[in-house]
Chains A and B, each alone.
Chain A
Amino acid sequence: MRGILSDRMGAALLMAPLLLFLVLAYAWPFLGVVKWSFTLPTPGLGQYGALLTDDLVQSVFIRTLRIAAIVTIVSVSAAYAITVVWVRGTPAQRLIAEFCILVPFWISVLTRAFGWVALLSNRGLINTWLQSIGFISEPLTLVRNEFGVIVGMSHFLIPFAVFPLASAMRSLDERVLLAARGLGSSRMRTFWTVFVPMTRSGIIGSAMITFVFSLGFFVTPAILGGGRSVMIAELIYLRIFQSPDWGLGAAISVVLVVFVGALMAILFRDVKPKELV
Chain B
Amino acid sequence: MPTYRPGPVSLVLAALVALFLLMPLLAVIPVSLTPSRMLTMPTGELSLRHYRSLIEDPRWLDSILLSLRIGVVSSAFSTALALTFSLGIWMFQPRFTAMLVGFVLLPMVVPPVVSAVTLYFLLTSISGLTSFFGYDTWLGVAMAHSVMTVPFATVLILVSLSQLDRRIDLAARGLGASVWERATRVIMPNIKFGIVTAALLSFVLSWEEIGVTLFITSVNAITLPRLMWMGLRDNIDPAIAALSVILIIITVLVLAVRSVVVRIRGGV
Spell out A's residues near B (CB within 8 Å). Answer: 6-8, 10-15, 17-19, 21-22, 25-30, 32-33, 36, 78-79, 81-82, 84-85, 88-90, 93, 96-104, 106-119, 121, 123-125, 128, 155, 158-159, 174, 177-178, 181, 187-188, 191, 212, 215-216, 218-219, 222-223, 232-233, 236-237, 240-241, 249-250, 253, 256-257, 260, 264
Contacts and interface: CB of A to CB of B under 8 A. Distances in A.
Interface stretch (B55-63, B102-110, B163-171, B189-197): B102-110
A13 to B, nearest CB: 8
B161 interface: no
Given A82-B17, A155-B20, A240-B215, A22 B117 contact: no
Contacts of A15: 84-85, 88-89, 94, 100
B24 A22 contact: no
A187 B7 contact: yes
7 smallest CB-CB distances across A and B, nearest first, come from A216-B111, A115-B24, A14-B88, A11-B92, A108-B208, A29-B122, A233-B113
A100 B188 CA distance: 34
Given A11-B88, A29-B119, A78-B17, A109 B208 contact: yes
A111 B247 contact: yes
B41 A123 contact: yes
Contacts of A241: 215
A11 B21 contact: no
Contact of A223 (B111, B204, B215, B233): B233
Interface of B: 2-7, 9-11, 13-14, 16-18, 20-25, 27-28, 30-31, 38-41, 80-82, 84-85, 87-89, 91-92, 94, 100, 103-104, 106-107, 109-122, 125, 143-144, 146-147, 150, 154, 179, 183, 204, 208, 210-211, 214-215, 225, 228-229, 232-233, 236, 240-241, 244, 247-248, 251-252, 254-255, 259
21 contacts: A14-B183, A18-B82, A25-B144, A26-B107, A26-B147, A85-B10, A89-B5, A97-B18, A100-B22, A107-B248, A108-B210, A110-B232, A111-B25, A111-B244, A112-B25, A115-B28, A119-B23, A123-B40, A188-B9, A216-B114, A233-B211
A88 B119 CA distance: 43
A121 B238 CA distance: 14
A81 B14 contact: yes
B226 to A, nearest CB: 10
A215 B110 CA distance: 11
Contact of A104 (B4, B22, B41, B254): B22
B30 A125 contact: yes
Given A14-B84, A236-B117, A237-B113, A88 B4 contact: yes
Contacts of B27: 115-116, 118-119, 124-125
A139 to B, nearest CB: 12
A32 to B, nearest CB: 5
Nearest to A117: B236
Contacts of A155: 20-21, 24
Nearest to A123: B40
Question: How would you classify the secondary structure of chain B's contact residues: helix, strand, loop or mixed?
Answer: helix
Contact of A108 (B10, B143, B144, B225): B225
Of A29, A112, A159, A191, most buried by chain B (CB within 10 Å of CB) is: A29
Q: Tell which of A6, A25, A233 has the most Cβ of chain B within 10 Å.
A: A25
A218 B89 CA distance: 34
Contacts of B254: 106
Contacts of A124: 27, 39, 41
Given A78-B17, A85-B14, A109-B208, A26 B94 contact: no
Contact of B125 (A32, A101, A177): A32
Contacts of B144: 25
Given A26-B147, A123-B41, A253 B84 contact: no
A114 B228 contact: yes
A233 B215 contact: no
B248 A18 contact: no
